[in-house]
Amino acid sequence: MKIQPIKKTVLELCAGGGGQFLGLEAAGFDCVGAVEIEESYCRTLNYNRPELNVINHDLKHFDAKGFYGVDLVAGGVPCPPFSIAGKQLGQEDDRDLFPYALKIVKQTDPKAVLLENVPGLSSSKFDSYRKEIQGKLSEMGYWSDWKILNASDFRVPQLRPRFILVAVKKDKKNGFEWPKPFSKKITVGEALFDLMSENGWMGVDGWSQKANDVGPTLVGGSKKHGGPDLGPTRARMQWRKLGVDGLGIADSAPEIKFPNDALPRLTVRMTARIQGFPDAWHFPGRKTSSYRQIGNAFPPPVAKAVSLQILETIQEI
């Protein structure tokens, strides 16, 4: 009888609507706990994976000692402290959860760490803060590195650059390599053709030819400032060039006689496809909440690509 290898385990922080979870799962990790503060996000995780250990908790007050020895700690810590759309207060922002993530790393002593954030954290303004984070990881016995990865390089039909931190135990530092980009990008037209045509829209061929590039980064927004649209004015202008009306989210695909000279809006399912979510992953609840979960997610294909490299690195530990 062939013995199946034991899966590597992961504790996920700030799990959100499941983007990173799906990437970790696809790479072969077994998620033993998913910590998330927002109840609507927890409902999505529970709806899609009833067996998942979803922990509705504030990371600032989460005690992770019960997860000591987990193989990987991964998380998408909130981005507002470093986003160019905000005040970029960094560690002065009370929403900065990096210190709490590092506390959990110390409590659990994982073989590896994966944390993702916005590209704004890579700016020179935060040089000393990044060095401080890496210094603390080094004190705990980890080698670490940062890198910006574009989702469009991993068959996701939008740009979505993310700044990613990977840390592994120092004796394995030479084993980790960042994932290599795919040679071919997927365009918005290719990704959404079947969804745009599901109601028989006669103009879908012409639309797909116009939507012949990757889209700009989806912006999910926050409870206070986020609405069901595709982001700020600049992003909506870019969507317009691709034949998409970015002022809102549609309830359904264009009907058969939808005017060929009009711009269709994306549905929630279309935005999920643009973010790299599989169609089988559902977002129960209202449209605005669902879109916010999608727009704030870590694209599953990118999470998978990085997780596979981590898995290969720690496999022998």
Catalytic residue among 14, 31, 42, 79: 79
Give the max Cα distance, the chain. Answer: 64
Cα(305)–Cα(28) distance, integer angstroms: 11
pLDDT at 162: 94
In 3-state terms, what secondary structure has residue 116?
A: strand
Beta strand pairing call for 9-13 and 54-56: unpaired
pLDDT at 79: 53
Cα(62)–Cα(31) distance, integer angstroms: 17
Across the beta sheet with 9-13, the strand order is: 54-56, 30-36, 9-13, 72-75, 112-117, 161-169, 142-150
Taking the whole predicted model, whether its pTM rises above 0.95 is answered as no
Per-position DSSP letters for 70-91, written without gaps between them: -SEEEE----TTT-TTS---GG
pLDDT at 312: 94
Known catalytic residue: 14?
no
Give the CA count within 13 Å in the CB-facing half-sphere of 29: 35
pLDDT at 84: 45
**Per-position pLDDT tens, the chain of length 317:** 444 567 899 999 999 999 999 999 999 999 999 999 999 999 999 999 999 999 999 999 999 999 999 999 999 887 555 544 444 444 444 557 899 999 999 999 999 999 999 888 998 888 999 999 999 999 999 999 999 999 999 999 999 999 999 999 998 878 899 999 999 999 999 999 999 999 999 999 999 999 999 999 998 766 655 566 788 889 999 999 999 999 999 999 999 999 988 999 999 999 999 999 999 999 998 999 999 999 999 999 999 999 999 999 998 64
pLDDT at 5: 62
What spatial distance separates the first Cα and last Cα of the chain, rounded to whole Å?
Answer: 25
Per-position DSSP letters for 130-166, written without gaps between them: HHHHHHHHHHTTEEEEEEEEEGGGGT-SB--EEEEEE
- C-alpha separations of 11 from 114, 131, 148, 201 in Å: 10, 24, 23, 44
Per-position DSSP letters for 210-222, written without gaps between them: H--SPBPPP----
pLDDT at 118: 87
Cα(196)–Cα(241) distance, integer angstroms: 17
Domains of the chain: 9-181+296-314 (3.40.50.150), 188-277 (no CATH)
How many other C-beta atoms can be found within 10 angstroms of the C-beta atom of residue 136?
A: 17
Q: Is 240 exposed, middle or buried (0-12, 13-18, 19+ CB in 10 A)?
A: middle
pLDDT at 222: 60
DSSP bridge pairs for 83? none
In 3-state terms, what secondary structure has residue 60?
A: helix
H-helix segments, the chain: 19-27, 39-48, 98-108, 127-139, 188-196, 204-210, 233-241, 268-274, 287-295, 300-314
